Amino acid sequence: MFAFCRFLYYNILYYDCRVQRRRKVRGIRLKFIELKKSLVSAPPKPCYIVSGDDAFVVRSAINMFASLAGSMRDLNMTVFNKDADCSEIIAALLSPPMLADYRVVVVNDYASELSKIKDYLARPNPTSVLVFSGALTSNFNAIVKLVEPVDCNKLDATYLSGWVVKKAASERATVTREAAVTLVEYCNRDMNVISNELRKLIDYADGDVIGEETVQAMVTPEPDFKVYELSEAIANKNREKAVNLAETLLAENNSAVSLIAMLFSHFRRLLFVSLNPASDTLAGDLKVKEYAIKMAVRQAARFTPRRLKAIFDRLNEMDAAVKSGLCVDKTALVTFVCETVSMG
């Protein structure tokens, strides 16, 4: 046990060092939900960096910037890919807008030299807005003080459930608050999935009120959410619910091997964050989305460290058995779930 904790301790130190370097790049970020108000209440900044783990939110942010180009978007908005020549980008920025207040230049996943961009931003064209879209990497250190980062990570569940209700109302449909909350949970707060599922629900309801029962009947929860629910049932020592969830996951074409892998990853994350609950810094280093870390911190608090360690050790044994070629069947997995419920 001591050796294991020492191993995690040094790994945490390693992660924290990497996080400190990343913080120098991130700085204070404008939240997506604040962006529209920011663009309406004051002139736009010369340069923004739009990044986050929700592609729908990123696209929505880009569309907000596109609105600055006015009705003649085709003439006043230019989009470049990551291999674009820097001189072409600057040429576009220096061009005056046509029948609009601003020209918008979007550059996707740019990873080239930024020194020329830095020179441009020292004296930017006041009628142009430069928007970088993609990961906020150390490549942007050269211009980090000259840009406005926009946070497009997954949005808060409360905001999303309100968005569902308002979006449905805009299409003359009614979604109850309980149904909206369930939809957001089932879709793991992924706005692209939420939007698609809401469209299906509105079409299915055909004018009727969309309640929680409709969502439960029509929307299939994402596997990650079901694994979270399974872990929650284990935390609550609810054997019946835990077994039912495990059997449901197995019945949905998830093999015992794939489910073990999902559980192993999930409980490894819980164990890690229980020793270092810095949910705002670990997401990038553990290569998971920030909302997943936040949920892990909340759920890890429901387990004692000793119980988490015991569950992780058992999963580690099963994972090793799978990798060594031993067969782990569905019965063994259900037995494991029953064992973890009983662990003190």
26 CB-near residues (< 8 Å, 6+ apart): 136, 149
Question: Which among 165, 188, 218 is the end of a domain?
Answer: 218
Residues 32 and 140 in one domain: yes
The one-character DSSP state at 97 is P
Determine, yes or no, domain membership for 251. yes
Determine, yes or no, domain membership for 134. yes
Determine, yes or no, domain membership for 138. yes
Would strands 128-133 and 47-51 be described as parallel, antiparallel, or unpaired? parallel
Question: Which among 132, 151, 170 is the end of a domain?
Answer: 151
CB-hemisphere CA count at 13 Å for 310? 15
Q: What is the pLDDT of residue 29?
A: 75
Residues 134 and 169 in one domain: no
Give the DSSP letter string of 171-199: TT--B-HHHHHHHHHHTTT-HHHHHHHHH
- Output the CA torsion sign for 277, 283, 289, 291: positive
Q: What is the pLDDT of residue 201?
A: 94
Taking the C-alpha atoms of 88, 90, 94 and 98 in order, what is their torsion angle to the nearest 10 degrees?
50
Low-confidence ranges of the chain (pLDDT < 50): 1-27
Give the range of the structural domain holding residue 317, as residue numbers without chain letter.
223-342
Q: What is the pLDDT of residue 285?
A: 67
Residues 324 and 287 in one domain: yes
Residues 103 and 41 in one domain: yes
Determine, yes or no, domain membership for 17. no
Total domain count, the chain: 3
Q: What is the pLDDT of residue 278?
A: 59
Instruction: Read off the CATH number of the domain in which 202 is found.
Output: 1.10.8.60
- Residue 209 Cα distances to 181, 192, 193, 202, 216, angstroms: 15, 22, 21, 9, 14
Residues 190 and 267 in one domain: no
Measured CA to CA, the distance from residue 180 to residue 195 in angstroms comes to: 11
Q: What is the pLDDT of residue 2?
A: 40
* Exposed/middle/buried for residue 288 (C-beta within 10 Å: 0-12, 13-18, 19+): middle
Tokens describing residue 140: 């942007």
Residues 212 and 252 in one domain: no
Determine, yes or no, domain membership for 54. yes
Q: What is the pLDDT of residue 6?
A: 41
Q: What is the pLDDT of residue 289?
A: 62
Cα 72-78-82 angle, rounded to 5 deg: 160
Question: Which among 107, 135, 151 is the end of a domain?
Answer: 151
Question: In 3-state terms, what secondary structure has residue 294?
Answer: helix
Instruction: Read off the CATH number of the domain in which 132 is found.
Output: 3.40.50.300
Residues 284 and 182 in one domain: no
pLDDT digits (tens, 9 = 90+) for 75-131: 999 999 888 888 999 999 999 999 999 999 999 988 777 888 899 999 999 999 999
